[in-house]
Amino acid sequence: MSIDRRNGQWTSDEMMAVAAARELADGVVCFVGIGLPSTAANVARRMHAPNAVLIYESGCIGSRPDHLPASIGDGVLSETAVANVGVVEIFSYWLQAGRIDVGFLGAAQIDRFANINTTVIGAYDTPKVRLPGAGGAPEIAANCGEVIITLPHSRRAFVEQLDFVTSLGHGAGPGNREQLGLRGRGPSAVISDLCVLRPDPDTKELNLTSVHPGVSVDDVQSATGWELAVADELAITPPPTAEELAVLRELKAAS
């Protein structure tokens, strides 16, 4: 549900997309998931990150879509790509070999260490809800230099205990990724429609570092299924600028 928090000027979904876009630095090579991550990455490319290289798992390298792709295999991704390669190659030569700086993922459920579930709610063999499954996410989460995750906030999504770990974030805490031999550094930010969370450098637990305008710490806590750690210096996310909103809305209108 998109909540209008600023007298009709922008919605919390727009704040989420814009805040996620700001995470993507110019010039990075980014493996983009479909949906929210793709929206954010394309806003970033039109704003502050014109030299970001967007890679989609359908084998499209350096795509510059003029509208938001409806699927990971949208024709606009291949037509505007610098190179098109097969799916075996994109995962093996490009992702696994360590050529990607940032993985940009969505999620159905996330825990305090930014581990992700997109597989099942309930027991695996007798699921309450069967979700789509892994897709490219486990190896994106494992092999990209860092990972940015974006998903709407709710107690159903931000849970104390995942029923299934589809993609590893910081695992059980500090040192876990290194023990498992994972090459990427793991999640660096989680962007929701309420706030920004970042892993504490020591504990690796997600800390609330910034609340979006009009959102209180209590709002975030009541939408989170665990006792939230709050950073000492809590920021307020700058609201979307007129330009950011124009770019986001133009992209959406073209889609």
Catalytic residues: 57
Is 168 one of the binding residues for another protein (CB under 8 A)?
yes
Is 95 one of the binding residues for another protein (CB under 8 A)?
yes
Q: How far is the CB of 72 from another protein (least distance, A)?
A: 6
Is 159 one of the binding residues for another protein (CB under 8 A)?
no
Is 145 one of the binding residues for another protein (CB under 8 A)?
no
171-200: contacts with another protein (CB under 8 A): 171, 176-177, 180-183
37 dihedral zone (left: phi>0; alpha: psi -120 to 50; beta): alpha
| Dihedral, 118, 122, 127, 129 alpha carbons, nearest 10 | -60
C-alpha 16/C-alpha 61 separation (Å) is 25
Which of 59, 145, 187, 199 contacts another protein by CB under 8 A? 59
Residue 233 Cα distances to 138, 209, 210, 226, angstroms: 32, 7, 9, 20
Residue 5 belongs to what H/E stretch?
Answer: none
CB 144 within 8 A of CB 101: yes
Which of 10, 31, 91, 158 contacts another protein by CB under 8 A? 91
Is 119 one of the binding residues for another protein (CB under 8 A)?
yes
C-alpha 90/C-alpha 96 separation (Å) is 9
Q: How far is the CB of 12 from another protein (least distance, A)?
A: 21
Residue 191, phi then psi, degrees to nearest 5: -110, 120
Q: How far is the CB of 131 from another protein (least distance, A)?
A: 8
Stretch that binds another protein, among 158-166, 187-195, 202-210, 239-247 (CB under 8 A): 158-166
CB 177 within 8 A of CB 171: yes
For another protein, which is the closer residue by CB, 59 or 240? 59
Amino acid identity at 8: G
Q: What is the DSSP string of 12-30?
A: HHHHHHHHHHHTS-TT-EE
Is 135 one of the binding residues for another protein (CB under 8 A)?
yes
21-50: contacts with another protein (CB under 8 A): 34-35
For another protein, which is the closer residue by CB, 125 or 232? 125
Is 20 one of the binding residues for another protein (CB under 8 A)?
no
Stretch that binds another protein, among 9-17, 43-51, 54-62, 190-198 (CB under 8 A): 54-62
Tokens, residue 88:
């075996």
User: What contacts 83, CB < 8 A, 6 or more positions away?
Assistant: 61, 62
Give the residues lining the site for another protein (CB under 8 A). Answer: 34-35, 57-60, 70-75, 77-78, 84-88, 91-92, 95-96, 119, 124, 127, 129-139, 142-143, 164-168, 171, 176-177, 180-183
